[in-house]
Amino acid sequence: MLGRRVVLIGFILSVIVAVPHAGAGELTVSSAFEGGSAEVLEIDQTTRSIKIRPAGDPQFGWPCWWYFQVTGIQPGEAITVTVDASQMKQANGQKLSSNWALPERAAFSVDQKHWRQTPAGVKDPGTFQWTVKVDAAQAWFAWGPPFVPADAKQLVDRLSREHANVTAFELCKTRAGRAVPALVVSESGDKNDSRMVIWVQARQHAWESGGSWVGRGFIEWAVSEDPQAMALRKKADIYFVPIMDVDNVATGNGGKNQVPHDHNRDWSETPRWNSVKTAMRSIKEFDEQKRLVLFVDLHNPGSNSKRPFFYVTPPELATKKRKQLQGAFIAACRHEMKVPLELDQNTPSTGPKYDQRWKEISSNWVRSATREHVVGITLETCWNTRYSNPAGYMTVGRQLGLGIARYLKTDPRSSSAPD
């Protein structure tokens, strides 16, 4: 079932009789749509304010995602939204920091297509409040700009229609039977030739919606008439998966640390999640063909991160050549990622101190299961800045593409690559 159940505290609605705005209707809240999540705590018709908390089930990941619709707005009036994240818990019952659910600027839209940021809100312990003038009879509010499975399907289908060298395909069906949309960009009809392969994917953690927007920026650049994109397409096939954890994105759950483990802790000999299983099989096949050169996994980090950064190879998996190729790739991206979000100099790693399932993290599996010339890496794009919106995210994605093109001017499989 799409969306999350909306719980209304009925007595609050029953005692409201005054409507101070001429022509204003009764404010109502719904999250009964794909990706929706909200438990309504209070609707005050007099002050035109709404208070909700995220409604995700901790069994399906950190409940930090929220997304809901408000109707009954008098166009031009100010609506105040408060999100209470003070009671968030993980599946094991431990408290989850409210910071994960409370951006300084929330996302809002009046058509569920074009997403903007609210003005900076007001923070109190465990809560954040934003006041927005809405020039429409309805509006949608969310933790960040939503990107749901329908958006993924629309993106891959549109690019497939518009570009002869783009083919949309279904990566797999999820455990719940939902399709996982994907596409391949290839200017060669022979998939068994020697062309390089690039694999880019997003949303192994469902609530990290910015990853899909970065991915959209990347893939729209990759099929564009930019000379560097055209040069890249001549030498490489590009595989792109906008959403890996489709089920949790569709149902408005967080995905991160779901039970028994999330998608990015599933890259093992016995993967649980179908999208991981299928991606692993494809990646391994490309590596056996000596075609795979780059794997990029797109994420959003913690609330205090203000610049994009890469998680790099832990010392336990590093070899001289892997480190040199990884360094060359990051240097190429650093040349491109400058405005508005400059690539951070910080490059942490995901070794045994990071997570007990560190070997089952996607980029670590790629590093251990593929040839030495393959760069496997994770890009974390900050979500809590004034540029953490569709335009900012897509700019990072385009710059990632430019970095990839710059890096692959020299074939990393060749003897002239760093050694």
Q: Residue 233 in 3-state DSSP? A: helix
* 10-142 belongs to CATH 3.40.50.11540: no
How far is residue 311's CA from residue 322's CA, in Å, rounded to a whole number? 14
Taking alpha carbons only, the member of 209, 210, 153, 212 closest to residue 183 is 153
- Evaluate the CA torsion angle 162, 144, 121, 13 in order and state its sign: positive
How far is residue 323's CA from residue 317's CA, in Å, rounded to a whole number? 10
- Taking only Cα atoms into account, the Rg of the chain, rounded to an integer number of angstroms, comes to 22
How far is residue 200's CA from residue 240's CA, in Å, rounded to a whole number? 5
Taking alpha carbons only, the member of 138, 107, 134 closest to residue 121 is 107
CB proximity list for 227: less than 8 A, separation 6 or greater: none
CB 155, CB 216: distance < 8 Å = yes
Q: Residue 181's beta-bridge partner residues?
A: 170
CB 48, CB 80: distance < 8 Å = yes
Which DSSP symbol is given to 45? Answer: T
**Which region holds residue 410: left if phi is over 0, alpha if psi is between -120 and 50, else beta?**
beta
Taking alpha carbons only, the member of 77, 242, 226, 88 closest to residue 151 is 242
How far is residue 243's CA from residue 181's CA, in Å, rounded to a whole number? 8
CATH number for region 149-407: 3.40.630.10
Predicted model pTM: 0.94
> What does pLDDT average to in each consecutive run of 10 residues of the chain (419 residues)?
41 36 84 98 98 98 98 98 98 97 98 98 97 98 98 98 98 98 89 88 98 99 98 98 99 98 98 98 98 98 98 96 98 98 97 97 98 98 98 98 98 75
Enumerate the domain spans of the chain: 10-142, 149-407
CB 33, CB 61: distance < 8 Å = no
Burial class of residue 85 in the structure, from the number of CB atoms within 10 Å of its CB (0-12 exposed, 13-18 middle, 19+ buried): buried
Same fold? 10-142, 149-407: no
Q: Residue 289 in 3-state DSSP? A: coil
Q: Give the burial string for 7-27 (b: 16+ CB within 10 Å, else e).
A: eeeeeebeeeeebeeeebeeb
Return phi, psi of residue 79, to 5°: -115, 135
So what's the pLDDT on residue 349?
97
So what's the pLDDT on residue 281?
98
